[in-house]
Structure 1
Amino acid sequence: MKLKAFIIIGLLLYPLGNLQASSSDIIFTEIMYDLAGTDDKHEWVEIYNASTAAIVINDDWRFYDGTAHLLNIIQGEAILAPRGVAVIADDATTFLNNHPGFNGLLLDSVVKLSNDGEEIKLSLDDGSNWIAQVTYAVSSGANGDGKTLELINEQWQAGEINGTPGQYSGENSCNCQPEEINNDPIVPPPPPTPPEPISADIKIVINELCADPAGNDEEQEFIELYNVGTDSANLIGWRLQDESGTSFTLQTNLAAGGYLVVYRLQSKITLNNTTPEKVYLYDQSSKLIDSVSYEKSENLSYSRQENNEWQWVDKITPNAVNMGETIPQPSIVKIAVNVDEYYVQQKIRFNVDDEVINQDGGHYAWQWGDGQTSEGPTAEHQYNQPNSYIVKLIITDQDNKVVHESTREIKVVEQLVPECVQAAVLNSREDTKDINQQWLTISEVRDLTSSRVVTVKGIVVAPANGVSKKTFYLAEVSLAGEINLDQGLPVYFGEATINIAVGDLVLVTGQYKKTTTTAKINIKQQADITKVASRQLPRPMVLASGEVTEELINGLVVVTGELVQKKGANWIIDDGSGQIRLALASSANLKWPSGKIGDQVTAQGIVGKTASGLRVIIYQANNIEIRESEIIASTQEQKEVSIPNSRGGGVLDYFGYGLGAIGLGVLSVAAKLKMM
């Protein structure tokens, strides 16, 4: 079952409460890393609770073999008993086939161990602290002979063929004594303060950008660095990077007072001309040294001045002192809309911030990109055809001089007509593989009080192995064909080979299991899935950070807020309504994008819960957006968030604009991210 933190009331003989284990509470005791035949699916490790208190297992546990991995309980309860043993296997089914008599606690994870030796670790708090760790070596034995490495009398040595999983007792093996248990939570240190772009001990700066030269961009576009110090600087391993993520590693020294011009032909970094751009300079340890950004470029040089301010000037000066006359540029304002993707005939409200309106009080001209125009600081528009449109706003003063301008891309897609969804699902409850087995909605399944075999109808919202290993996620499809993304259910498929895709409407037959904290369906084979149709997903509901509740566990949501803390492997955001934790799905092998405290974060993911509370699990790289400063406004009707009563939303929520004649009314509009 999927790991969740809960209290097992019946196990009164175990003193619970040791949720924060110390560094000697759990130790590695056996390692199967190099078999006589193939290693794939056969590797495993054994862990031992050396303390006198039970340790609750939850979603924050991570096994590290070079990469941090989630764990799933396959056999046993979610608790590691005092002086108890558990096995973490790369493939639980293969492990049980190899050890048919094993009836102990079995955890399934990714266990890919090096045959040359490596460090392995275990964390109970999502990677913030590693409380068990060991580095094994080939010289200790068990390399290629089918034996395991075992901890015997505090020494690692070759053990028996196939190993002795579950048999470690601590007697005559390890003299570890449990430390006095500290039940106080482990508080990670505060995140480091981001470095200033220029400081007394940093002498290299970005000095000039030429993004849109009068001639050939590919040959003449460049980024210039300058050594403002008095000593030569070794730049080997330093790198330049643009907003798109394209980077170039430097392999040179830069003399004191010297310039280094990196042309586009060499770096492959293409600077934007008509859209915002940002250039970063990192040292060999990936520490940010300097950065500079601009909105657009027009045949000018963007140059650092003596006062360290940047100006557009009329003279391009590679490998020379910056000079030239400053060219005034119209200031840029943000076109404020809620999201960047809408439906055909959906009415969209655009506006700008009050400060600009009050300051300039001029003329506002909107160009919608479809041949239509409007005027005024706030305007509404709807598109009749699916396409990508460039919206342009020009603000002029009383003398018709341009004082502000901006552009923004808006994507318009076809509406998903409700009848299509209703026709795509099986609305007859008897129309399933088993005439005696009626299918249920996800809401009906979640209301069941006991385990049983069920057939559930849903739409795939998270792919296999996306959020967690050997699992995909469904969202509810109601009897009327409405899709409720906030009502979800995980499906665990074990070792089966599953062929599904996001947007598949399916009937899934399997064993329903429910614990005090979660529910899921276990299936055994592809035949347990009946594909009905494929449909485009509606956009998830947009929530304030404090609006994520337990009723949304396993649901797909979008959440927004300000980045207030980087805590271990997680980010915490807050828009003033309450904090919510963001986590990256370990099975997706993602990395956090560049972001700093105070940035605005928008993230899409599955709601989960661990011992440390609710979180939104991000499982795709384009499911998170970072904005240094963005003005957020709404469509004509701002989203209505009423979590307990949100079941009537889903697909139908997105048809209020333009389908009023059908009687659907104006319902919720949610955001679909345009990601970095």
Structure 2
Amino acid sequence: MRNFLCAFASLFLALFTITSVHANTSPVVFSEIQISGSGNSDDDFIEVYNATSLPIDMTGWKLKKKVKSGKEYIIYNFKVESDEKIIIPANGYFLWSNKDGDSSKNTLLQFTNNSVLSDNYSLALFDGRGDLVDSLTYGSEHTDPYSPSIAYYYSGKMEVRTSLERDLEKNIFLLQNNPTPKNNAFIEKQTIKEEDDGSGEKFLEDISIRINEIFPDPKEKGEDSEFIEIFNFGTDKIDLSGFALRDASKTGAYVFPASETIDSGEYLAIYKEKSKISLNNSDETISLFDPKNNLIDSVEYNKTKEEASFGFDGENFRWSKYGTPGEANKFDALPTSKTSIPKKAYKDVAISFSAKGSKPGYKFTWDFGDKTKSYKQETTHIYKKKGKYKGSLTIDNGFEETKKYFTVKVEKYPTHSISVTAFSANPQGTDSENEYLLVKNNGKKKVDLKGWSVATGTNNKKLLNHPINGSFAVKKGEEKRLTHAFSAFSLPNKSGFIELRQPNGKPVQKIAYDKSDGIKNGEVYSMQSDKKWLWENQPFSPAIPGNDLNDDDIDAGLELEKEKSLTLKTILLEDLSPDQRAILEMEVEKKLREKIMEEIRADMLTSENQNSPDEDMEQNNPAENSSPEMQSKFIKQEKSIMEYLSLKKIMGKIFLKANASINDFLVESE
């Protein structure tokens, strides 16, 4: 097996190496192929591009394939009647299609047959002399591919509704989800005409006319404004005597009268009043024949739109709101839109689809690939089962439509270890600004809780669901406050229920709490190390903005205890506004002043043998009535406060881990 893989890799690289020289010299190349457009075996096409600035006669060429066993078959033989030629225009396209495939409507009937494509084929185009013009090998299992050949490697089967499209500049094929089969190649009819010298010799003269526009479904009654237009794209005037237009009924026909001509570059419209041809509004074919009943051109359409013209745009026939009898065809730009389509989704989780930037009046049809549709420009959808879904978006401007295909892979929602470890239902200040849930990521990877929700209420059977809006990423092992900036939850102040829910609605945690006498201002319900929940006072809890948090936040901590030491309280200093930081500093300074005054009182009692401070002493600055020695000490302690606020020192030494998570401030009393 290893030797086989090495050999195949060498062959694969060799194919690419050889091709770069060959493809650059080839005037006609494969430009796009599809082997499974809508999932059935017949939806196949091969598109060929003329890279030159001149039309090329492809009569006598052959399109061939080699299956993975190396056996060769003819896909299409460019063979027509002796008085016909297959012409691919300058910088134009030839399209072969399976006759039952969707792409067959984009090409001439004569360019279709029953041939099929499959995985692991090698394709080749040969000219009339039998010389290899271009080749493409795709898949991973080839016994005897054409050489030299450009290669596209993949294992297994090619995804449905995809195609291989050639990047002409880089000379590589790329897999893409929006096949665009094109054809403007045509069959040029020649007619026999005697020479003027009377020798009896005959020669072939090109007939450069085609059907250019059809107007089958006018709004006005009587339908006399229906018309069929032909165009002389050659350089000479053409005598139309004996030429005929026919519809699909075979009985409806119009024969051009004697001496009727069409000048070079002229557009000639034949109205129903004159032709007596009544055009169908569906499944119609219009054909142009020469006086000897040779087919010159044929156009088909499946379903009309009222007041829409079906015209040739230089490459394909398109519907247009502009009827232009006797003039060049006119078209609006194809209806397009800037789309937002997810490639991945989770089972039972809503995902958004949108098409923006389109013109007013456009209609949208989302086919999600699971037998459901939506007709909104922006919509959401929930896939109920895992798997790959092939969907499409159709944009209709009222006259023509475009279709964009997409694939969505639906998986089971992953399991995340996320829990609420504390919450504040009656915080200091207003609930709307300061209520929070402390959320912890117990897993090993960062988790974004966007799309999750918090359900709250006093009745666990009728909880209100509050989605988490915007990105709320929690790093592994991190505890992070979820505030109203992300989710508009409301926590009851006596008893209630809380559920933390995944995007699919499944709860990952349920919390019930009951405090009949009411939750005190600043109390926090938190989970202890033994998994039990306890009510705790929260002496200091500054409001922290959540909507500005990001993964590079610096975690800092302060919690002032009632005792003399300082312990950890995690906050986010970097995200505090100037006003919030000022409040924080004032609160810290207040606590420190209280601590300093206690020490000063103790010193005063010891050194000056004074009695305990009275109430006035407790309410006022003791330094005002103290000795010079005590005042000096107070000033020294005041200086320590400023040093603390600059994050350097506080009554001793403070150790700060800068530019990283600040785990704590270590205080050593002198």
Give the alignment's TM-score, normalised by structure 1.
Answer: 0.24
Higher relative contact order (CA 8 A, sep 6+): 1
Larger Rg: 2
Structure having the larger proportion of residues in helix: 2
Give the alignment's TM-score, normalised by structure 2.
Answer: 0.25
